[in-house]
């Protein structure tokens, strides 16, 4: 979409941790980003793109499925592959709340801030994970299943509040069209 409308605009999609995203915006390395956290900093503006459920991500042959799943507490003894919580403060709180509602703290066996890496580690049966359910799209070739959880997360677009870049309104428009 973006390239067709603005062929001279360079678009680069890179998955980075929240702390790195804010630093890159502040230093003008990037103009806009996607975040799971609403910004309370006046120098940034966030706009909700969509809300979605979290999902428990399990290997294809894992004993739990949509019909037998009653709650995350069924995974009390399982190892989890999760992002480094301190890297994404608010997102980390949302993830922690998933487990808190189940009455336990997850046993984290691997840390990764990258969804694709997490999916591959789950596929290799190195642990379970909790990810936004949108990761299900494009993962059908992987040996993982997604069990929908009741907990919600949001995706926001974030940019510098005072940015006068003439392309920025178009980026926001295209982001809304894409979701």
Query: Residue 74 is part of a domain; what is its CATH number?
Result: 3.40.190.10
Q: What is the chain's alpha carbon radius of gyration, rounded to the nearest angstrom?
A: 18
For residues 86 and 140, membership in a common domain is answered with yes
How many angstroms separate the CA atoms of 13 and 10, rounded? 10
| Phi, then psi, of 43 in degrees rounded to 5 | -75, -10
Q: How many CA atoms lie within 13 A of 121 on its CB side?
A: 22
The answer on 112 and 96 residing in a single domain is: yes
3-state DSSP helix/strand/coil percent for the chain, to nearest 5?
A: 30, 30, 40
pLDDT at 2 > cutoff 90: no
Of 144, 127, 128, the closest CA to residue 136 belongs to 144
Residue 1 has pLDDT above 80, yes or no: no
My answer on whether 147 and 160 are in the same domain is no
pLDDT, mean of residues 116-127: 97
What is d(CA 30, CA 26) in angstroms, rounded to the nearest whole number?
8
Residues 169 and 94 in one domain: no
Exposed / middle / buried, residue 139 (Cβ in 10 Å: 0-12, 13-18, 19+): buried
Q: What confidence score (pLDDT) does residue 117 get?
A: 94
The pTM assigned to this predicted structure is: 0.86
pLDDT band at residue 177 using 50, 70 and 90 as cut-offs: confident
Q: Which domain holds residue 42?
A: 2-49+155-178
150/167 Cα distance (integer angstroms): 37
Q: What is the mean pLDDT of residues 89-118?
A: 91
pLDDT at 179: 81
Q: Are residues 61 and 139 in the same domain?
A: yes
Q: Is the pLDDT of residue 6 over 90?
A: no
**In whole angstroms, what is the distance from residue 25 CA to residue 33 CA?**
8
Regarding whether 121 and 37 lie in a shared domain, the answer is no
Indicate if the pLDDT at residue 47 is higher than 90. Answer: yes
Number of domains in the chain: 2
Q: Are residues 82 and 164 in the same domain?
A: no
Shared domain check, 88 and 26? no
- State the pLDDT at residue 138: 82
Helices and strands, counts by H and E, the chain: 5, 6
């Amino acid at each position: 979409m973006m390239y067709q409308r603005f062929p001279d605009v360079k678009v680069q999609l890179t998955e980075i941790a929240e702390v790195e995203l804010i630093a890159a915006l502040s230093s003008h390395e990037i103009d806009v980003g996607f975040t799971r956290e609403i910004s309370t900093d006046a120098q940034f503006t966030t706009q909700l793109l969509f809300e979605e459920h979290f999902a428990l991500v399990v290997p294809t042959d894992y004993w739990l499925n949509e019909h037998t799943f009653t709650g995350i507490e069924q995974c009390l003894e399982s190892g989890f592959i999760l992002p480094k919580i301190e890297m994404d403060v608010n997102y980390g709180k949302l993830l922690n709340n998933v487990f808190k509602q189940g009455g336990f703290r997850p046993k984290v066996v691997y840390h990764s801030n990258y969804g694709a890496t997490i999916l591959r580690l789950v596929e290799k049966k190195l642990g379970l994970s909790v990810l936004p359910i949108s990761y299900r799209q494009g993962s059908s070739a992987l040996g993982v299943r997604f069990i929908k959880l009741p907990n919600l997360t949001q995706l926001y677009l974030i940019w510098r509040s005072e940015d006068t870049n003439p392309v920025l309104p178009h980026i926001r428009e295209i982001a809304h069209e894409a979701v």
